[in-house]
Structure 1
């Protein structure tokens, strides 16, 4: 960090080395969704050292940490997700992942380091605080199949919270920029699992069977048509199939196929159009003699509250040149479970913003 480039106080700049070392250590110990044991313990130990009152949840890695300066003041929360991805780490440096096949390729190590640095700073300057603060260290943001933000909300992580904030790093913007908007930030997102059951037969007599592979392909192809012809072109929608598994031997008609993918939409109406159309297509398969099941795991859209949007804008303006602040950015078709936490606050006041992390190549 170049403190002369941004309006950063000397006291905050003193934590620059702490922030860097923290991020590097967390990058070395990535853990998958719901398995963030080392990560959670490391963050918990630091928050305890900073003087925060922590609360853990039995059987889960997520926890909260509170700094209460005056019970009469509002409680503001900040979410940091902890999990990593099942991918190789290609950084090849002294702080590369020590867990083979697992890496912080989505940058949650950065999210935690920022939260821990902010928590460290606030603990040293609590006499200057105008609100109480809660840091929420969330498990399992990446994998919809693992209890994550929805479970933490159920366990009470946002009880008493007046406003809540979160960030996500953005590799498309050069360091020193911030991006956010008022309104929808990310899509309604659902992961789906479709099972199609047919009838097996020898490949020499396919008429005696019901080909689950061919039927699954028909369903998926038709969903692309639905996106093109049944949704509003001014309301983006995305249907994707990322995995198909079926058949056991090459010379037999497959009697079972499982396909998995995602549905994304920028509003709830479009989300429902996609899901109801999916169901209609599947019903035709049932009429043809196939048996089917489909399950969804869904995230609501993240929607920034105008009050929170203004707070971020005012805070960013204290540190960044106005030309580095994108306060009316386009929403993304990616999905985020942070929506659960915003929606669980008393007045749904909260926001998510993007913090740039790209490094400009040296000329």
Structure 2
């Protein structure tokens, strides 16, 4: 469980417009239907069908089958002659504003992920997962419902914004990653996206708060798998062997020196060995040991460096013991880095929805990773956390926990923030 800081703040529903308040029961119903039918990455067929069915019903232009199960909806606003060009861009960051002034028709993208996790749900609720061993344990069902609610509202109120909104329903955020193949398929083109925003329902923050910051919000995600190749033998005759367990133990300790002694203490990084398997009997020295771990960091300058140091340490320790190794290192997601102007823009809209000053949490970094980072490498944008924990209702279990759930009041708040961003970006 998270701490008592997950108690919600006082929620002023008057900050959410009446049309979105009226949509709240539908948001809950959509979220719960999605929660009952969770699907793993690139297998979100039922989810995609549900999203497409709603978009078609509302007369929204969309394309399916992008990166297997991804969908992009396009909603075009009506030009409002009442606003001067200068007024239309006063709330948009300068770097994006200059680009938009050239095209005159701004394009804002909103991204929502759709996939679930290979977890057996333990919640005893009417809407619990009906798919054995699969669960929406990270809030992506809520992200999809918020994106649908935003699409519906904007389709019914096209006169409130100019330009175009692209809503990207992305598969496989949890792995192996759907953002990059969607980008490669051209979702940021035709029309070209000027900026992108997205949110993550966040049980590390209480309901009624928004975590938004400039710069690095979430960490890069890298993984390694290493096999230590020694020489097995009798446990009573170690001089005849190369003990892979002893070598692995020294490697685990050695890897901890990377952050402690190679990284500036002002910076943040993590090297974690999460799996270590070796041996079959108590009196047999194992000839092989297998270890796996993860690497996290915020500063892009560490890309490649940590991988290099890890291999140097493994190679050096193996050589000193007469062992060899096989190392497989993967760079999965880069860090999630928000554009300063877009972060300020999102913050300026969020303060209209949550009570200030407590409602805005500027320092909310996490070493968790997200492939929203690939979108942010392509266009300026902002990814932010929407507090969804409510300890008083026992809705505060951490993400990826089999009893994860969140306060659904956050759904309407998410729609309101997205809609305000669209209206004031255009």
TM-score w.r.t. the length of structure 1 is 0.90
Counterparts of 1:9-28 in structure 2, within 5 Å, are 9-28=17-36
CA-to-partner distance for each residue in 1:132-182, whole Å, 9 max, x for gaps? 111111111112xx2421222222222211110111111132212111011
Whether 1:358 aligns to 2:389 is yes
CA-to-partner distance for each residue in 1:180-214, whole Å, 9 max, x for gaps? 01111111221222222233334444433333333
Whether 1:329 aligns to 2:359 is no
* Match 1:298 to one of 332, 343, 346: 332
TM-score w.r.t. the length of structure 2 is 0.78
Once the two structures are TM-superposed, the CA of residue 238 in structure 1 deviates from its matched residue by: 1.2
CA-to-partner distance for each residue in 1:34-53, whole Å, 9 max, x for gaps? 22222222122222222222
Q: Secondary structure at the match of 1:51?
A: coil
Map of 1:344 onto structure 2: 378
Map of 2:97 onto structure 1: none
CA contact (8 A) 2:226 2:325 kept: no
Counterparts of 1:126-205 in structure 2, within 5 Å, are 126-143=158-175, 146-159=176-189, 160-205=192-237
Once the two structures are TM-superposed, the CA of residue 304 in structure 1 deviates from its matched residue by: 1.0
CA contact (8 A) 1:194 1:292 kept: yes
CA contact (8 A) 2:77 2:160 kept: no
User: Which gives a bigger RCO, structure 1 or 2 (Cα 8 Å, sep 6+)?
Assistant: 2
Whether 1:87 aligns to 2:98 is no
Q: Secondary structure at the match of 1:38?
A: helix
Counterparts of 1:1-363 in structure 2, within 5 Å, are 5-57=13-65, 60-69=68-77, 73-143=105-175, 146-159=176-189, 160-287=192-319, 288-326=322-360, 328-345=362-379, 349-361=380-392
Once the two structures are TM-superposed, the CA of residue 284 in structure 1 deviates from its matched residue by: 1.4
Normalized per residue, the structure richer in helix is 2
CA contact (8 A) 1:210 1:290 kept: no
Structure 1: 5+ residue stretches without partners = none
* Residues in 2 aligned to 1:250 and 1:158: alpha-carbon distance in whole angstroms: 57
CA contact (8 A) 1:6 1:320 kept: no
Structure 2: 5+ residue stretches without partners = 1-9, 79-102, 394-426
Q: What is the number of equivalent residue pairs in this alignment?
A: 357
